[in-house]
Every structure is written in C-alpha cells, then in structure tokens.
Amino acid sequence: MTTQTSSTPVIETAGAAGIPFLRLVNVELRKSADTRAGRWLLGIIVAVTALFMLIFFAVADSDERIFGNFIGIAATPQGFLLPVLGILLVTSEWGQRTAMVTFALEPSRTKVIASKTVAALVLGFGAFLAALAIGAFATLAGGADGGFEEVRLGVILLFLGLQLLTVLQGLAYGLIFLNTPAAIVTFFVLPIASSIVFNLVSGLADAAPWLDLGTAQEPLFTAFEDNEGLSGEQYAHLGTTSLIWIVIPFVAGWFRVMRAELK
C-alpha cells in the first residue's frame, strides 16, 4: 500500500524580493490611463489646453500670437486640472479598496508613495510637452513676425516649475485625505479662501506674498506675458509659500499614509 504525500507549495510574493522602483513607476503611470476616469482626465487636459489656445488665437491680434503668450494661456487650464490628476493617483486606489493589494505586493509604503510622486512628475512633464507642442503649432499658424525669437529659456522653465508644483500640490492633498471628493474640494476651496482673506484685509497685504500661494504665483503669469524672469524676492515668496502649501502638506500626507489602516 502506498500513500501519496503532498507538500504545500511556497508562494513568494513580489514584495518579499522587492519590486524594482522603475517598475512601480510604470505601474502607476499605467493606472492613470487604465481607468475610464484617468483616460478622460488626460484627454481633457490636452483638449482644454488646446481650446484655450484656440480661443486666444481667435481673439488676439496677429502680432500677439507669439509662443510666450500661448504658453502663458496654457498655464491656467493646466493649473486647475493637473492637481486633480495628482489627487487621483492616490485616492483612486484607496477609494476602490485596492491599497491592500498594492501594499501586499510592495510592503514598503515609502517606496509606493515615492513611485506615485515620480509618476505625477512624469505626467506633469508630459502635460508641459503637450502645451509646448500645441503652442508651437499655434505660433506657426499665427504667422507673427519673430514668434519664437523673444522666448527666454528661463520663462519656459518657470512654466515647467509651475506645472510640477501644481501636480505635487494635488498629490499632497490626496495623501492627506485619501478621499477624492474631500481632497478636490479642499484643494480648490482652501487656497481661494486664503486669497480672498488676504485681499480683503488690508493689514495682511505685506504678508500675502509670503503666506498666500496664489499671491506668490501671480508674478509667474506676468513673467509669461512680459517674457521676463522673477526677482530674488519673488523667488523667495514662491519658495516660502510652496513650503507652506505643498511641502508641509506632502510630508503630513506621507505620514498619514504610513499610519493609515488598510481595508
């Protein structure tokens, strides 16, 4: 008489060996385009950017259809939509209750957050490239004399910096709330409320550039229009408000995710 012995197979999880960081980034980028909401948002960012440039193209005089003006126009719609993209990179996972699967495959929450951060920056850079391409096409179609000649590299880099800051701000709010509606509402309401308070209270006028992100970012839009860089003090304003409104919330959100209960 023979007996059959069976051994329990050993299943090695991907997290035990550690998933390569670049693979995690690639997964986060795929997540952004795999869902219907993600695809729509990516398409809307490009479409709305093109629409704003088209409207400007239609109403502007021929000599105003220069590359710098088109880039300045792109900053407004992308400034509203890119943060939502950053929020969804985080909250969609927690809202759909797939975070447990993610952290089971890769137990290091710090590594997962870092991959989402890199993915957010890549998407922000992609939106920047899309704006450059659409703006270049509009400039060529506009036929303005010297449409590209007066563009300064520093102004283009300021535009890139603005895009990356906005998407990181959205990511920070997503990390704090881990809930899409709460993060989106807070992102739009809180900065607007802050700007209203600093504009209404005359005694806060001197402190506004140091504490209010909207006030500190106003010279960026002027830089796009005038094709000029920022002064040292304006860079200090932008750095201080970015620390208050982006860096500190991002760190707080990081600790929030590190301590969050998986469901």
Indicate whether 2 pLDDT > 70: no
Considering 11-20, 23-32, 227-236, the range whose residues carry the highest mean pLDDT is 23-32
pLDDT at 142: 85
Confidence of residue 17 (pLDDT cuts 50, 70, 90): low
Question: Bigger pLDDT: 8 or 73?
Answer: 73
155-183 mean pLDDT:
92
pLDDT at 225: 65
- pLDDT tens digits, 104-156: 889 999 999 999 999 999 999 999 999 999 999 998 888 777 778 767 777 78
Confidence of residue 69 (pLDDT cuts 50, 70, 90): confident
Indicate whether 223 pLDDT > 50: yes
- Measured CA to CA in angstroms, residue 88 lies from 184, 220, 263 at distances of 9, 26, 18
Mean pLDDT check: name the lowest of 2-11, 34-43, 163-172: 2-11
Amino acid at residue number 45: I
Contact 123, 33 (CB under 8 A): no
Question: Using CA atoms, how far apart are residues 86 and 240, in angstroms rounded to an integer?
Answer: 21
Residue 245 DSSP class? I
254-260 mean pLDDT:
93
pLDDT at 174: 94
Contact 63, 145 (CB under 8 A): yes
Q: Mean of the per-residue pLDDT values for the chain?
A: 86
Q: What's the N-to-C CA distance of the chain in angstroms? A: 49
- pLDDT tens digits, 77-114: 998 999 999 999 999 888 777 788 888 889 999 999 99
35-48 mean pLDDT:
88
Indicate whether 15 pLDDT > 60: no
Place of tokens 């860079």: 235
Confidence of residue 243 (pLDDT cuts 50, 70, 90): very high
pLDDT at 9: 41
Place of tokens 């880039």: 71
Confidence of residue 34 (pLDDT cuts 50, 70, 90): confident
Question: Using CA atoms, how far apart are residues 57 and 127, in angstroms rounded to an integer?
Answer: 20
Contact 125, 164 (CB under 8 A): yes
Tokens of 33: 């385009």
198-212 mean pLDDT:
90
Question: Using CA atoms, how far apart are residues 135 and 143, in angstroms rounded to an integer?
Answer: 13
pLDDT at 51: 95
**pTM to 2 decimal places:** 0.86
